[in-house]
Amino acid sequence: MRICHLSWEYPPVVYGGLGRHVFAIAREQVRAGHEVVVISHVGIGADNGVTPPTDEILDGVRVIRVVRDAPYVPFEAEALLGWVSGLASAMTRAGLELRSEWSADVVHAHDWLTAHAASLVSRAWGVPWVHTIHATEAGRHQGWLPGSLSRAIHSIEGWSVHEADRVLVCSEHMKWEVDRLFEMTNSVVVPNGVDTSATLVDTALRDQIRSRHQGPLIVHTGRLEWEKGAHTIIEALPRIKRRWPDVEVVIAGRGSQSSALAELAKRKRVASRVHLDGWLPEANLRALVAAADVAVVPSIYEPFGIVALEAASVGTPVVAARSGGLIEFLNDDAHGWGFTAGDAADLAGAIGACLEGVDEAKRRTRAALAHVRSHHSWAAISERTVQAYPCDSPMRSPSVWAYAATPPERNLLFDVR
């Protein structure tokens, strides 16, 4: 099968789990004998009209990176729709130019930023459009659409899931969310995966990191956005310090909340125990998680929770919020310790139970690793993805989803009116 992915991020240009997901899926599809092209972006920092587009083969995947077309606007909330329109124009043109030498059997687009390009490219090629919803705008805001930008993004999401020939989601929670928000009934669950190879951990680097921390080491990795909940760890830290005075927290990642987290640590008088390490290379990140006594995934909103899988894959105990797809990973706490999202006292108690119950932590960590290996290998996830592709030509009917029926003052997820 010939597969074309559209994704606004692809390694080394990575902003979150989406880029790593597309990278792993594309690579595994090539290993399974499929032809794969990824149309992506040169990166926000390089998208200045100077850096040229690129076309290269990486691990058997042909990766075409585009430079955005006009309008030339900054990557900021006020101009985001204009920024995305330039990306869609460049991606569409790349797909149309590719048609002269190659045509896919399916176009697989990821999230709302690629929806318009996917619609045009798939129609030009006369092939099905598969759309993966990795997260929703309303979900990020606990069911609300707080402004005109959120309502615009929500409308594109709703349009895309009704225009696409098939919709994929990463968890049962996301299926519920998409079905409820957009009146869907046929979305298909294909979970995220993780590479569980032990050789991916640099043991010397892991031991070096561990030697720098004398007390319990708590680690959080991921984007530093409000919905990812890193602030809950800092709020819980004073309680944890009462039992473990030498505890240390390392938060690795980048995002809009970085400065706010540093200020919060000062207000809570735990700044000396909180290390904001910023973005780390993949090898350093895996070594850091492997060195930790506990990995915390405190998401307020979490469609799936790939960082929980990554921690489990290197044998680190997981404490995770009972939110979204993390509930499925926890499996009634068989694979870690759960706590109420946003509840600092509950998080402190869960971390305490994990640190004190060494034998129980080992048992749950072994169970989590076995679960990840049996259900979330990338080879298995890639196969499930290909099986979900429609093999027939697109047979789209006009969209029946009415955005006007969802007023902004209504909570779209939890308001039962």
* Helix intervals (H) in 164-202: 172-182
Domain ranges of the chain: 2-193+381-405, 198-375
What SS3 state is found at 98? helix
Q: 35 with 2: CB under 8 angstroms? A: yes
Dihedral of the CA atoms 231, 154, 120, 95 (nearest 10)?
-10
What SS3 state is found at 5? strand
Residue given tokens 């640590």 in the structure block: 265
CA triple 315-318-319, angle to 5 deg: 165
Taken in order 401, 402, 408, 413, the sign of the CA dihedral is negative
Dihedral of the CA atoms 406, 409, 415, 417 (nearest 10)?
-70
* Helix intervals (H) in 268-325: 282-291, 306-313
User: Going edge to edge, which strands form the sheet with 337-339?
Assistant: 274-278, 248-252, 217-221, 294-297, 318-321, 337-339
Nearest to 229 by CA among 117, 344, 116: 344
User: Going edge to edge, which strands form the sheet with 166-169?
Assistant: 54-58, 61-66, 35-41, 2-6, 106-110, 129-133, 166-169, 188-189
Burial class (CB in 10 A: 0-12, 13-18, 19+), 415: exposed
CATH topology of domain 2-193+381-405: Rossmann fold (3.40.50)
How far is Cα of residue 67 from the mean position of the Cα atoms in its chain?
A: 23
Domain 198-375: give its CATH code: 3.40.50.2000
Give me the tens of pLDDT residue by residue for the chain, a chain 417 residues long: 999 999 999 998 888 788 989 999 999 999 999 999 999 999 987 776 567 889 999 999 999 999 999 998 999 989 999 999 999 999 999 999 999 999 999 999 999 999 999 999 999 999 999 999 999 999 989 899 999 999 999 999 999 999 999 999 999 999 999 999 998 878 999 998 888 775 589 999 999 999 999 899 999 999 899 999 999 999 999 999 999 999 999 999 999 999 999 999 999 999 999 999 998 988 999 999 999 999 999 999 998 888 999 999 999 999 999 998 899 999 999 999 999 999 999 999 999 999 999 999 999 999 999 999 888 989 889 999 999 999 765 555 555 556 655 566 788 888 744
Q: What are residue 217's phi and psi, to 5 degrees?
A: -110, 120
Per-residue buried b or exposed e for 79-111, using 16+ beta carbons within 10 Å of the residue's own CB: ebebbbbbbbbbbbbbbeebeeeeebbbbbbbb
Fold matches, 2-193+381-405 and 198-375: yes
pTM greater than 0.85 = no
Dihedral of the CA atoms 153, 308, 385, 44 (nearest 10)?
40
